[in-house]
């Protein structure tokens, strides 16, 4: 089960809440839920110079992959200092499963 407290996060804790909130603004249009609730965020690493987000898709054939990555980038650009580099890495290990979804998302999806 994924919620904001379960997203692996390294770096200054001061950024955890604002980054998680920004990521919650990104909605997977196929299920109309935030990518955080769907469990697509595998980790966030914050350093003074860079924010690195590891995320996945529910399927390698996901037609909105590029759009979601662009939206993550855009949401983070709105909250981070201009000089902070943002790297969004698409990962496939471990494979996404419905167990990664938040309890609320599973309830909404009737899973």
pLDDT tens-digit map of 15-45? 999 999 999 999 999 899 999 999 999 999 9
Is the pLDDT reported for residue 55 higher than 90? yes
* Top-confidence residue, 5 or 93: 93
Confidence category of residue 5, pLDDT binned at 50, 70, 90: low
pLDDT computed for residue 6 by the predictor: 72
What are the sequence ranges of the domains in the chain? 4-95
The structural architecture, per CATH, of the domain 4-95 is 2-Layer Sandwich (3.30)
Percentage of the chain modeled with pLDDT above 90: 85
Which range of 1-5, 24-28, 29-33, 101-105 scores highest in mean pLDDT? It is 24-28
In angstroms, the first-to-last Cα distance of the chain is: 12
């Amino acid at each position: 089960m994924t919620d904001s407290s379960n997203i692996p996060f390294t770096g200054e804790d001061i950024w955890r809440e604002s980054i998680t909130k920004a990521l919650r603004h990104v909605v997977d249009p196929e299920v109309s839920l935030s990518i955080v609730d769907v469990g697509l965020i595998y980790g966030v690493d914050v350093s003074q110079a860079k924010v690195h987000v590891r995320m996945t898709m529910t399927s390698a054939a996901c037609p909105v992959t590029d759009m979601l990555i662009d939206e993550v980038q855009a949401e983070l650009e709105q909250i981070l200092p201009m000089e902070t580099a943002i790297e969004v890495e698409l990962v496939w290990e471990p494979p996404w499963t419905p167990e990664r979804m938040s309890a609320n998302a599973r309830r909404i999806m009737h899973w």
